[in-house]
Structure 1
């Protein structure tokens, strides 16, 4: 199958899913006919017992405006890419989401944003250094992707993307991380002592996103439940 029009395909796939669920839960006739997908047959064998929780909620991962628009137009929430800054969220992501929700008669409170936070921390200086190096390499990997250059452009770092992309094709994964300066690191990651991480996350992201995904490996296992409660409070 030739590939193209990813946002249009995703929009249609979500609409097709909704049509199938409407058949399962509401008894609507299944007659979905689109440019990419067609669903017109539903047999008893393929019809599950309805869940008491209703149809699943739909979350879509997005970075650019077209896929973000699909999420806002059709979904219950969006999975924010980890290579996303608060500035990019405020300038580019949230306006598209709010416009899409407005068309649906919904508000921002009806839509959930989930954000996976990069964390640099450690119990010792050695652990901190290892964490910092690992996150710099992860940021460099994502920043090498042409589709994510728009995020770097928001901060004036767009010229870094083609350089990282070339290095990725040369297999210079470790060297790529060395191009991530501390100002870039601090823009995309929360960097601090273990006791500082949760307060820093809450200060940076409260009011912007609704759910945080975080790796608590920087903290002892016994302390992680308390950190989760602190983050949720």
Structure 2
């Protein structure tokens, strides 16, 4: 099971420092999200800050850039990193696409399939000068008179897809080089609901299981006091629990009543990032890796054999920068323990 990491920082410089420390601690990939920063700009900063670890987007929004722009940025990031880049894509939700970015939503599974097809076709043909002609319901691509005059380091940059719903998860299995979860997921949910859909997608694409890197994301909080660790993670759980579309997810874990309490607090006027007080410890224990180093190592062991990679991220929701910084420092030290890396993973 590969250990990977999602660094945090108030500035891009701090994110880069955290990525270097995680690389030193043995993390095999460092990932950057897209919401409060651009995923591709963040990936560029990490590519220059590191030298051996992979650099991935987890995730870049798939529909807010054209496939050609995404393909160009990926080629540039792969060059900048010396062939270490991983393009992680996700659809985002309908309201974000339509209201924030003025993007037509349509059928997201078909839209993402065409987007990935176009990106790969562009990588394969952009230096030849030959036309690219692709039909599509969402992303037709007609390119003539174009030839990229610069060398392409790789035409097979890995493409990972973020998914939780069954149809999108099957698509990840069918066409993706990897699948990425959101930050809350349990071994049982992964085994019982996600892996069967991924396997169905692999079968549809006539692909072997080892063609797909299953990346389980996990909010991880480590402290000598397990209650301190739990309370740091509670805000992340509250953020997801405030979304009614995750009702089936919480019900699967026998947490429907606990989610209802969070939703009630949200409707009473508490912000989505300020719901930790409404989150029971039982929710945190079921859905995050929180506790002492020994606690977290034991919880991590439950994923061994059912996921290929684990992406550890520090808690952020409802926390001050100082609290997140402290949580991240403990988490990077844990990674060094888990990997047995010769580096300390110490943050400057």
Task: Give the structure-2-normalised TM-score.
Answer: 0.57
Could you tell me which of 85, 93, 116 is aligned with 2:194? Answer: 93
Could you tell me which of 328, 337, 340 is aligned with 1:217? Answer: 328
Mind listing any 5+ residue stretches in structure 1 that lack a counterpart?
A: none
- Relative to structure 1, the CA distance from residue 30 to residue 141 in structure 2 (aligned partners, 3 Å threshold; closer, same or farther) is same
- Relative to structure 1, the CA distance from residue 42 to residue 206 in structure 2 (aligned partners, 3 Å threshold; closer, same or farther) is farther
Other structure's SS at 2:330 match: coil
Equivalent pair of 2:229/2:292 in contact (CA under 8 Å) = no
Equivalent pair of 1:116/1:212 in contact (CA under 8 Å) = yes
Q: Is residue 131 of structure 1 aligned with residue 259 of structure 2?
A: no
Q: Is residue 39 of structure 1 aligned with residue 109 of structure 2?
A: no
> 1:205 is matched with which residue?
303
Deviation at 1:141, TM superposition (A): 0.5
Deviation at 1:228, TM superposition (A): 4.7
Could you tell me which of 223, 227, 230 is aligned with 1:122? Answer: 223
Aligned residue-pair number: 225
- Relative to structure 1, the CA distance from residue 160 to residue 64 in structure 2 (aligned partners, 3 Å threshold; closer, same or farther) is farther
> 1:50 is matched with which residue?
152
Deviation at 1:108, TM superposition (A): 1.9
> 1:227 is matched with which residue?
337
> 1:168 is matched with which residue?
266
d(CA) in 1 for partners of 2:338, 2:130: 42
Could you tell me which of 159, 168, 173 is aligned with 1:72? Answer: 173
Equivalent pair of 1:16/1:32 in contact (CA under 8 Å) = yes
Other structure's SS at 1:117 match: strand
> 2:254 is matched with which residue?
156
Other structure's SS at 1:21 match: helix
d(CA) in 1 for partners of 2:307, 2:128: 32
Q: 1:66-117: per-residue Cα shift (whole Å, max 9, x none)? A: 2112211211111111121112111211001001101222222221011222
> 1:7 is matched with which residue?
109
Could you tell me which of 164, 180, 183 is aligned with 1:63? Answer: 164
Alignment of 1:136-147 (within 5 A): 136-147=234-245
Higher helix share: 1
Equivalent pair of 1:24/1:48 in contact (CA under 8 Å) = no
- Relative to structure 1, the CA distance from residue 25 to residue 161 in structure 2 (aligned partners, 3 Å threshold; closer, same or farther) is farther
Equivalent pair of 1:122/1:218 in contact (CA under 8 Å) = no
- Relative to structure 1, the CA distance from residue 45 to residue 27 in structure 2 (aligned partners, 3 Å threshold; closer, same or farther) is closer
Deviation at 1:164, TM superposition (A): 3.0
d(CA) in 1 for partners of 2:298, 2:253: 25
Equivalent pair of 1:68/1:93 in contact (CA under 8 Å) = yes
C-alpha root-mean-square deviation of aligned residues, in Å?
A: 2.9
Alignment of 1:17-28 (within 5 A): 17-24=119-126
d(CA) in 2 for partners of 1:48, 1:158: 54
Mind listing any 5+ residue stretches in structure 2 that lack a counterpart?
A: 1-102, 315-326, 342-348
